[in-house]
Amino acid sequence: NAGVTQTPKFRVLKTGQSMTLLCAQDMNHEYMYWYRQDPGMGLRLIHYSVGEGTTAKGEVPDGYNVSRLKKQNFLLGLESAAPSQTSVYFCASKDLARAGELFFGEGSRLTVL
């Protein structure tokens, strides 16, 4: 049981380049989330999904796009990377039960030069 898997774990981009972070979960969870974590800022929600084919904006969605074409996958895209997007990105998932426990991936460290 792999839980929540993020790829890639590390990436360096130049300003203006694009990339996609992949999150995969094998727990049949309905809810999936993308967060970024920056020093002193805590975890900030970028986008989330409450089910296959649905996405919604979180606290800091600008500059990011997401897709949930399959229930087990949640993709985070950066169309034109900026240095301000240098961060550690975390994916998480939980089932739709109110009592559901939240599970995190190990993070993806992105540096934009």
Partner 1 sequence: KQEVTQIPAALSVPEGENLVLNCSFTDSAIYNLQWFRQDPGKGLTSLLLIQSSQREQTSGRLNASLDKSSGRSTLYIAASQPGDSATYLCAVVSGAGSYQLTFGKGTKLSVIP
Q: With binding defined as CB under 8 A, does residue 106 bind partner 1?
A: yes
Q: With binding defined as CB under 8 A, does residue 61 bind partner 1?
A: no
Q: With binding defined as CB under 8 A, does residue 27 bind partner 1?
A: no
The footprint of partner 1 on residues 3-22 (CB under 8 A) is: none
By CB under 8 A, name the one of 34, 64, 74, 90 that touches partner 1: 90
By CB under 8 A, name the one of 19, 22, 43, 60 that touches partner 1: 43
Tokens 């999904």 belong to 49
How would you write the chain as a 3-class SS string? CCCEEEECCEEEECCCCCEEEEEEECCCCCEEEEEEEECCCEEEEEEEEEECCEEEECCCCCCCEEECCCCCEEEEEECCCCHHHCEEEEEEEECCCCCCCCEECCCEEEEEC
Among the candidate windows 19-27, 62-70, 79-87, 90-98, which touches partner 1 by CB under 8 A?
A: 90-98
Q: Is the peptide bond before 8 cis (omega within 30 degrees of 0)?
A: yes
User: To the nearest whole angstrom, how small is the minimum distance from the Cβ of residue 97 to partner 1?
Assistant: 7
Q: Which residues in this chain contact partner 1 in the complex, by CB under 8 A?
A: 31, 33, 41-43, 45, 48, 50, 90, 92, 94, 96-107
